[in-house]
């Protein structure tokens, strides 16, 4: 599914990576708040849903090759996090949905979890 469609489904604001919205194709999704879990299970190219809003999320995403980060739960995103996403070239979206709902909505729209890699 195109990132532009995911952003609409998640009612998300695009904080960085607008230029990739129409081209980036997402097939797999994972969700976590512990970056140690992300380091252990993440797959390159996946979309990460998280409630964390720190620059460390973006740094971790860049290490494992995550293509997009979606921050959920109406959390305010610090400018440092947005700047990190721009620096690493990782699209950063901000969704008002709770994590459970965001995962469910993407699952019902046929996005796969990371076990399907």
Domains of the chain listed by start with CATH number: 3-111 (3.40.1390.20)
Give this prediction's pTM: 0.95
List, for residues 100-109, the tens digit of each pLDDT value.
999 999 999 9
List, for residues 32-75, the tens digit of each pLDDT value.
999 999 999 999 999 999 999 999 999 999 999 999 999 999 88
Q: What's the average model confidence in pLDDT over 3-10?
A: 98
Can you say whether residue 104 is alpha, beta or left, with left for phi > 0 and alpha for psi between -120 and 50 degrees?
Answer: alpha
Are the beta carbons of 81 and 57 closer than 8 angstroms?
yes
């Amino acid at each position: 599914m195109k990132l532009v469609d995911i952003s609409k489904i998640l009612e998300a604001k695009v904080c960085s990576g607008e230029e990739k919205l129409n081209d980036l194709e997402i097939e797999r999704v994972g969700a976590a708040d512990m970056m140690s879990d992300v380091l252990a299970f993440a797959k390159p190219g996946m979309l990460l849903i998280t409630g964390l809003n720190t620059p460390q999320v973006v740094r971790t995403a860049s290490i494992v090759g995550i293509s997009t980060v979606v921050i959920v739960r109406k959390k305010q995103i610090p400018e440092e996090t947005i700047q990190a996403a721009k620096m690493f070239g990782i699209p950063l979206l901000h969704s008002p949905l709770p994590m459970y709902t965001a995962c469910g909505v993407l699952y019902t729209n046929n996005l796969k979890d990371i076990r399907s890699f």
